[in-house]
Structure 1
Amino acid sequence: MSSRRLAWFFTGLTALTYLLVVFGAVVRTKGAGLACPDWPLCFGQLVPAMDFGVILEWGHRALAGIVSLGLLTGIVATWRNKAALQAVRGLLVAAVVVLAVQIVLGGLTVLHLLAFWTVSSHLVVGNAFALTLGLIAARLWGLVRPERPRAPTTAAARLTIHVTAVALFAQLVLGGLVSSQFAGLVCPQWPACAGDQWFPTFSGLMGLHIAHRLTAYALVVGFALSALTTWGQDSLGAKARIAFGLVLAQVALGVANVLFHLPVEVTAGHSAGAALLILTTGLMLHDLYGRPLSPPVASTMQPSPERA
């Protein structure tokens, strides 16, 4: 398979995995996570009798199986393309490891009856797998597209994007914990939490919810600064602006979740937006690492001749 076809293949597989992550959010919000009470079979059968809950949970497993076969197909095809294999070998190994961990976590989530640590870990690792596939696709597209000179970036942009990416990972973990511990409505108001108190406590489930809110506000600032510090840096700046728009949408969906008491559509949309933001941020980091660092302004200035 040519490098171009491989790039398209992994782009499609990334999109399919993104849908799998969103599908998982729908399963969770519909309360169908235990519609198949055993694993890896469902009611002891490969294809069980269907009702709505079983369709969701079994469908999620079936789609996960398709994605797994897709990765295996992609690995075999890449193995026959030396240039592509050299470019993505490490990422392919990472994808296999992450997928194996995700499969185990999926089984543990059922066998441990939706324990919060399994649900949260399953969410985090699922997003990590989608991101890994996205990076493979980006690396392959770099092989087939002519290399263009990229505008240099700045130390401020690098620092801002890295700090924001770390905060985003923390927010993903916090969001998983809020969801898996049913803490989404412990603060039933916005912007306050309890009456006229914005931060009544930082302990327990309320503290977890407040930490999730505060990190969201910090991410708005972080992505705004990322967009500003990368302004004029062609594709990097474009990705940063997209990420800023996505984080604003995420905050709006989070507020809607509270004000409308966790409607399924909004909750699933919030998970979908988070997955898209993580993918965008990962691609932004990939773009960042391919750029030279512009020298400090002072070092580019020529010393003025001394006056007689």
Structure 2
Amino acid sequence: MNKTLLQKLSSWTILLTMLVIILGAYTRLTDAGLGCPDWPGCYGFIKVPMTESRIAQAEMAFPERPLEPFKAWNEMIHRYFAGTLGLMIAAIFFISWFGKLKVPRLLPTMLAALVIFQAALGMWTVTLSLLPIVVMAHLMGGFTLLCLLGLYWLQLRPQLLQGMEPQLQKLKPLAVLTTVVVALQIALGGWTAANYAALACLELPVCEPGWASRLALGEAFSLHLGYDDYEFGVMSQDARQTIHAFHRIGAGITLLITGLFSVLLWRRAKMTLMKKLALALAAILLLQFVLGVLNVVLHLPLLNAVAHNFVGANLLLCMVLILYQFRHRTRAQEN
């Protein structure tokens, strides 16, 4: 296999990862995370049982959770695509190590390890009945997978990393801060979703009147271990409002910091790629903010909520790619 084919494989793997992220969000938002109460199959089968005899067998094995075909298919389709993604990442790993090509090997190794851990998180999501910390970690793992694949895609095209302007290095601390803020805001969004707090506040800009007097920080950010089932959440309404309010406040902070960074990057960059990344970052940020507002105003419409999740992943990807450009330039200068 030549390097061109590996480049194409990395591109298709990124696209598949994006699709898996979308399917994961759709599965979660349709309350299908336990559509199949076992793992990796569904009620003991490799696909959703459809015949009367298999349905009866499935419900006998899991009497506490009657089969809901729509939810079960949502969950299994997500698993099928995630499994295919795992195979594609395995192919990247083996080609990078044994394909006799002079290509980076660290990231393929990290990708292989992460996708195995993601599979474990997917299993624990089911076996631990949607334990919020596991659900949030699974979401963050998927986003991290996308970012690592983006970096690997860039490493396979080193010509794109040439010509970083030295004056942009002054923006590196702000780039690091922006990346951390975006990652923390995404994690907070994952915590909001995992605890079914997305509709806990239905008024703008933060929450219903008196929200500050009802903060329940201890409960809102507790792991709440020990429950048999976390579907539809175990927290009080005050705790859910607390999580949601913090996510709203975090959104404002993210908008200000990321917006400032994108403007400064665009104004100071002369290289075409960095200007494009700055514009892309600003556009993705604005879209994400609008989708967040629409989630509140329209009471979390399904497609809008899925898009909010997907655009968040791309916001983080864009920041990671920008940050890698800074790191590459610094190393080049040191050499």
TM-score of the pair, normalised by structure 2: 0.81
Please state if 1:289 is matched with 2:327: yes
Please state if 1:53 is matched with 2:67: no
Instruction: In structure 2, list runs of 5 or more residues that go unmatched.
Output: 51-68, 218-238
Shift in Å, 1:147 = 6.6
Structure 1 segment 1-308 matched on structure 2, within 5 A: 1-49=1-49, 51-79=69-97, 80-84=99-103, 88-142=104-158, 145=159, 148-195=162-209, 199-202=212-215, 203=217, 204-230=239-265, 231=267, 232-234=269-271, 235-292=273-330
- Identity across matched positions, percent: 27
The 3-state SS of whatever aligns with 1:290 is helix
Residues 1:268 and 1:250: Cα distance change in structure 2 (over 3 Å) = same
CA contact (8 A) 1:183 1:209 kept: yes
Shift in Å, 1:146 = 7.5
Shift in Å, 1:49 = 2.2
CA contact (8 A) 2:35 2:71 kept: yes
Shift in Å, 1:98 = 1.1
Residues 1:192 and 1:91: Cα distance change in structure 2 (over 3 Å) = closer
Matching residue of 1:301: none
Task: Give the Cα–Cα distance (whole angstroms) in 2 for the partners of residues 96 and 274 of structure 1.
Answer: 23
Q: How many residues align?
A: 288
Residues 1:27 and 1:146: Cα distance change in structure 2 (over 3 Å) = closer
Shift in Å, 1:103 = 0.6
Instruction: In structure 1, list runs of 5 or more residues that go unmatched.
Output: 296-308
- 1:2-34 CA distances to partner (integer Å, 9 max, x unpaired)? 222211211110110111011100001111111
Task: Give the Cα–Cα distance (whole angstroms) in 2 for the partners of residues 129 and 67 of structure 1.
Answer: 10
Task: Give the Cα–Cα distance (whole angstroms) in 2 for the partners of residues 31 and 69 of structure 1.
Answer: 27
What's the RMSD between the two structures over aligned residues? 2.0
